[in-house]
């Protein structure tokens, strides 16, 4: 067993050189530096040689050269020739590996990034690309760097499939045959402390937004109409409950002179006995359908709330509750006059909807 002792300064410099070699995609130097750093650990020469995929004599020569010449031994002359490439089979296997995720590969992290993938490609296929080129390859293969999205572990995919293939097409057919109003309903609370959004700013000068830190929220019921893009809102300071929801339904009924088909989620005040009794009392004018549980992605008004926040509260300082009300009311009024923009939110339903 070989062991060499490195000073902390030498070790840090070797690690710095290794970082640069990875960034350049210099496979020869990566192997050499890795071997030198491993020689300080409790690895046998044969184990080191196997890890970096060279023979034991090569590792001994590297160590000897470093002991005699120091960092001057780490300089390679430029080598001409084509960069090694992944085969079509290797590319296909790598894409499947990426789609399976880092945890399935056995890594402790659930996030892929260029340095990790760079090392995976080297380990699996003996090809070392620069990190920049790894990103370029991923884009060429149809990948993009994305932020993950939470999905409830309570999802019932069977019920969601029934909604996509049976319930929703039937609702849409019913609405067309009856020339009914087709509404998606939801509610949103806008906190006085505001909300944050992306914006352009100078590098190194991250935007800061003042906040009052007050938890009080401005609460809004809303519906959007599938065929016309018409919006109806009810903003309030009171809590969401059966009474306020029934008041909102009364307002909705007063806004349309045709039969209304309303789609909403399973919030408690949507399904309470009082609400059910109210819906039954107006069944000649109102038909209600529930969405599958934990399926906000099936409700296009969810996207409207995001747009209201972008326009009204993102990066806004709202020291007084009236400021919050004014900003939200203005944003709501804006979208009530933007039917085309609201209709664009229905595009996600085009794939669900049957042909007209």
pLDDT above 70 for 245: yes
Report the CATH architecture of 157-198+208-349. 2-Layer Sandwich (3.30)
**What is the mean pLDDT of the segment spanning 23-29?**
77
Q: Quick: pLDDT tens for 78-134.
A: 555 555 688 999 999 999 999 999 999 998 889 998 888 988 998 899 888 888 889
**Six-digit token string for 146:** 């994305």
**Six-digit token string for 263:** 């789609």
Averaging pLDDT over each range in 54-58, 134-138, 148-152, 278-282, which range is the top one?
Answer: 278-282
Q: Quick: pLDDT tens for 277-321.
A: 999 999 999 999 999 998 988 999 999 999 999 999 999 999 999
Neighbour-count burial of 275, counting CB atoms closer than 10 A to its CB (0-12 exposed, 13-18 middle, 19+ buried)? buried
**Cβ atoms of residues 171 and 177 within 8 Å:** no
pLDDT of amino acid 79: 53
**What is the mean pLDDT of the segment spanning 202-211?**
88
pLDDT of amino acid 82: 54
Phi, psi of 191 (to 5 degrees): -75, 150
pLDDT of amino acid 4: 78
**Six-digit token string for 347:** 């595009």
pLDDT of amino acid 78: 53
Looking up tokens 């007209």 gives 356
Closest C-alpha among 290, 267, 164, 153 to residue 219: 267
Averaging pLDDT over each range in 81-90, 139-148, 247-256, which range is the top one?
Answer: 247-256
């Amino acid at each position: 067993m070989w062991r060499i002792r490195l000073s902390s300064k030498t070790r840090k410099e070797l690690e710095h050189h290794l970082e640069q070699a990875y960034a350049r995609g210099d496979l020869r130097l990566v192997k050499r530096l890795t071997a030198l750093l491993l020689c300080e650990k409790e690895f046998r020469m044969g184990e080191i040689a196997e890890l970096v995929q060279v023979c034991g004599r090569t590792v001994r020569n590297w160590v000897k050269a470093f002991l005699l010449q120091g960092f001057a031994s780490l300089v390679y002359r430029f080598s001409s020739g084509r960069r090694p490439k992944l085969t079509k089979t290797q590319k296909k296997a790598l894409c499947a590996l990426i789609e399976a995720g880092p945890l399935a590969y056995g890594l402790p992290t659930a996030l892929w990034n260029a340095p990790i993938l760079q090392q995976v490609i080297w380990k699996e296929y003996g090809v070392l690309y620069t990190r920049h080129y790894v990103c370029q390859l991923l884009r060429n293969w149809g990948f993009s760097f994305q932020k993950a999205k939470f999905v409830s572990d309570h999802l019932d995919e069977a019920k969601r499939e029934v909604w996509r293939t049976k319930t929703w097409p039937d609702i849409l057919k019913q609405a067309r045959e009856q020339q009914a109003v087709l509404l998606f309903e939801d509610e949103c609370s806008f906190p006085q402390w505001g909300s944050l959004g992306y914006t352009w700013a100078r590098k190194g000068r991250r935007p800061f937004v003042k906040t009052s830190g007050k938890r009080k929220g401005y609460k809004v019921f809303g519906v959007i109409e599938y065929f016309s893009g018409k919006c109806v809102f009810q903003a309030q300071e009171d809590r969401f409950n059966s009474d306020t929801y029934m008041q909102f339904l009364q307002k909705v009924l007063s806004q349309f002179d045709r039969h209304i088909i309303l789609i909403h989620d399973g919030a408690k005040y949507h399904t309470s006995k009082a609400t059910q009794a109210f819906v039954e009392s107006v069944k000649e004018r109102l038909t209600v359908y529930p969405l599958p549980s934990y399926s906000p992605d099936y409700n296009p008004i969810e996207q409207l709330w995001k747009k209201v926040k972008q326009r009204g509260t993102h990066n806004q300082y709202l020291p007084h509750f009236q400021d919050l009300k004014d900003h939200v009311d203005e944003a709501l009024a804006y979208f009530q006059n933007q039917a085309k923009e609201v209709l664009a939110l229905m595009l996600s339903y085009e794939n669900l909807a049957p042909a007209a």
